[in-house]
Chain A
Amino acid sequence: MRYDLTTGNAIEATGLVKRFGKTTALGGVDLVARQGRVLGVLGPNGAGKTTAVRILATLLRPDDGQASVCGYDVVRDAHQVRQLIGLTGQYASMDEGLSGTNNLIMIGRLLGIGRAQARARAAELLARFDLTDAAGRPVKTYSGGMRRRLDLAASLVGQPRVLYLDEPTTGLDPRSRTDVWGMIRELVADGVTVLLTTQYLDEADQLAHDIVVIDHGRVVATGTPDELKARIGGRVLQVSPADPAQMVEVSALLGTLTMAEVTTDDETGVATAPVTDGTLVPGIFREFDDRGIELAEFTLRKASLDEVFFALTGHGADDEENGSRELQESKL
């Protein structure tokens, strides 16, 4: 064995560079996924997440830099890497013309599992993902949620040690999302390392032990969710005037008092600012009181990853996302 099952890093990448013509998709990306943990890769569409994962899954060769999975180089030892990984989502899809069962049998057979065993494994996975009723139907008749589950099932046929999950809950209803989260936690409990890309920051917050934030082909932040939140002070002050007409005044005052950038949401009438020093908060409250501004809300809370993301990249996580999601949906 080339690496230590208990302490090793399952994925290590250093200085990954990938160019497509004149565009630089990755401009030197480093990342590490610890064995048996979930690494969340965050970033808007076009940030380079997909390119990074495609390289780690041996689907693309990097122009520069190197990466390894369980100690095997993704270029030189691609064949070994492929025996260790499972892949879902936009990186690899199912055969629309085949039934769910046959898709899974095909993958099992390709992985060298015997005929009867492949059939049994397919049935077991279909049952586990609540797809037994649809097992015999062609995949093109499946709903979005069923596809996601089949996709996940397909990536588990070979019992991978490292699993790449691409936006596993995009387009799922809240219940199915919780189900998928549960399945991911089960896998991690079994020692599987998961690399998860997501647009949902609460998903990363829920599942990821470590997070890498990628923007414009570069890593802009790494750390645990708590560390990342701490980087922008960790807490956020949320203020809302009783009279919406005072919004401008309130947000200006909040900015002066916190010495931070204020985001305002005109729909909800809430102004938000990161707070680095908690002792300032009572003073801020008094200042509003002294000026006779009546407040409907005055809340100090932990920052969400959304706010972290905004602070790190200067734009929200889903700014560039809508167009591509429409495309994805029209494809289904």
Chain B
Amino acid sequence: MTTIAAPTPDRRVSLLGGLQNTFTLTWRSVLKIRTNMEDLLGLSLQPITFLLLFTYVLGGAIVHGSTHTYLQYELPGLLVMTVVFATLGTGLMLNQDITSGVFDRFRSLPIARWAPLAGAVLGDMVRYLISVAVTIAFGMILGFRVTTNPAAAVLGVLLLLAFALAMCWVSALIGMLVKTAQGVQAFGFIAFFPLVFGSNLLAPTATMPGWLQAFVKVNPMTVLTDAERGLFTGGSVAVPAVRSLLWALGIFVVFAPLAVRVYRRKT
């Protein structure tokens, strides 16, 4: 049996210590993705289903017979959709951790208070990356081509991840405010559906009624979709990309502190 060490306890966690805690918890999240086949399967099948459905159901109608033209048009939008819906997983996992008592274990340990949240969010970046990769790869099998250049496409992926990093705090907030996993799903979809579909992600804005166009034009999903189209298939990039980043920053600045506050108040 080991003897009991009796050092004088530290007063607080250093920033470095907090980052170390965060990386440990990121490792945990990534490990969970690797061991949870259902999650991996869901992450991959969802974008594949979306791609098949939207391309072949809507494609012909929207671009009059040419599914390939539509695929080129919709894929950047589908990337946005996939990533935004994937952020719901962050809220779900946080909710699960809270209801199962895993978060209480973390809170009873001498670690940085923000580390469990930051670890969960960072770990989820891997999930987002997987869904983005599957979307692009399967899109390419269907005939999608990057018509700009690889560097621009990489920038496009990075922009998506930056945006997801902001959106997942919205999801985290929902995950902590709502009692059950079903609740997280329901509220998440109520919040995200109008945002995702009330945009130019699947169809051009021109045919929409004026009031809807007004919403679609300010919707951050539209801005991000414009930037992604610019980066993957050509068009203006600078303005929508900067506006996307500003949106991401705005969402982060509002929702991350809110989520941290709710998390702390749970003590």
Q: Is B107 on the interface with A (CB-CB < 8 A)?
A: yes
Q: Is B207 on the interface with A (CB-CB < 8 A)?
A: no
A93, B108: Cβ atoms closer than 8 Å: no
A79, B4: Cβ atoms closer than 8 Å: no
Report chain A residues within 8 Å CB of B102: 92-95
Binds B, one of A109-117, A277-285, A300-308: A109-117
**A161 in contact with B108 given A79-B12, A94-B102 (CB within 8 Å):** no
A32 and B8 CA atoms in complex are apart in Å by: 22
Binds A, one of B30-38, B126-134, B139-147: B30-38
Q: Is B11 on the interface with A (CB-CB < 8 A)?
A: yes
A161, B4: Cβ atoms closer than 8 Å: yes
A61 and B6 CA atoms in complex are apart in Å by: 26
A91, B108: Cβ atoms closer than 8 Å: yes
Q: Is A178 on the interface with B (CB-CB < 8 A)?
A: no
A79, B2: Cβ atoms closer than 8 Å: no
- Give the number of residue pairs across the A-B interface with Cβ within 8 Å: 98
Report chain B residues within 8 Å CB of A290: none
**A95 in contact with B8 given A58-B108, A83-B110, A186-B1 (CB within 8 Å):** no
Q: Is B109 on the interface with A (CB-CB < 8 A)?
A: yes
Report chain B residues within 8 Å CB of A109: 20, 24, 27
Q: Is A59 on the interface with B (CB-CB < 8 A)?
A: yes
A80, B108: Cβ atoms closer than 8 Å: no
- Using an 8 Å CB-CB cutoff, how does the interface string of B225-256 with A read, 1 for contact, 0 for none? 00000000000000000000000000000000
B32, A98: Cβ atoms closer than 8 Å: yes
Q: Is B105 on the interface with A (CB-CB < 8 A)?
A: yes
Quick one: which of B3, B10, B28, B32 has the most chain A CB within 10 A? B28
A91, B100: Cβ atoms closer than 8 Å: no
Report chain B residues within 8 Å CB of A158: 109
**Which residue of chain B has its CB nearest to the CB of A154?**
B105
Report chain B residues within 8 Å CB of A102: 28, 31
Which residue of the partner chain, among B9, B11, B101, contacts A92 with CB atoms under 8 Å? B101
**A90 in contact with B101 given A59-B107, A190-B4 (CB within 8 Å):** yes
B101, A91: Cβ atoms closer than 8 Å: yes
Measured CB to CB, the closest approach of chain B to A92, in angstroms, equals 4
Q: How many residues of A contact B (CB 8 A)?
A: 41
A5 and B13 CA atoms in complex are apart in Å by: 25
**Which residue of chain A has its CB nearest to the CB of B8?**
A1
Measured CB to CB, the closest approach of chain A to B108, in angstroms, equals 5
**A59 in contact with B267 given A91-B104, A96-B100, A192-B4 (CB within 8 Å):** yes
Measured CB to CB, the closest approach of chain B to A18, in angstroms, equals 12
Q: Is B222 on the interface with A (CB-CB < 8 A)?
A: no
Q: Is A159 on the interface with B (CB-CB < 8 A)?
A: yes
**Which residue of chain B has its CB nearest to the CB of A121?**
B2
A191 and B110 CA atoms in complex are apart in Å by: 21
B108, A92: Cβ atoms closer than 8 Å: yes
- Using an 8 Å CB-CB cutoff, how does the interface string of A112-156 with B read, 1 for contact, 0 for none? 100000000000000000000000001000000000000000100
Q: Is B17 on the interface with A (CB-CB < 8 A)?
A: yes
Report chain B residues within 8 Å CB of A106: 24-25, 27-28
Report chain A residues within 8 Å CB of B4: 159, 161, 190-192
Report chain A residues within 8 Å CB of B31: 98, 102
Q: Is A254 on the interface with B (CB-CB < 8 A)?
A: no
Q: Is B111 on the interface with A (CB-CB < 8 A)?
A: yes
Report chain A residues within 8 Å CB of B25: 106, 110
Q: Is B21 on the interface with A (CB-CB < 8 A)?
A: yes
- Which 8 interchain pairs have the tightest Cβ spacing? A93-B101, A92-B105, A80-B9, A82-B110, A83-B9, A109-B24, A83-B110, A92-B104
Could you jot down 12 A-B contacts, CB within 8 Å? A58-B267, A79-B13, A91-B108, A93-B105, A97-B36, A102-B31, A109-B20, A110-B25, A111-B109, A154-B105, A190-B4, A191-B4
Chain A residues close to B by CB (< 8 Å):
1, 5, 57-61, 72, 79-85, 87, 90-98, 102, 106-107, 109-112, 138, 154, 158-159, 161, 186, 190-192
Seed contacts A109-B20, A110-B21; 11 additional CB < 8 Å A-B pairs: A59-B267, A81-B9, A85-B108, A87-B108, A91-B101, A97-B32, A106-B28, A107-B109, A112-B17, A159-B4, A190-B1
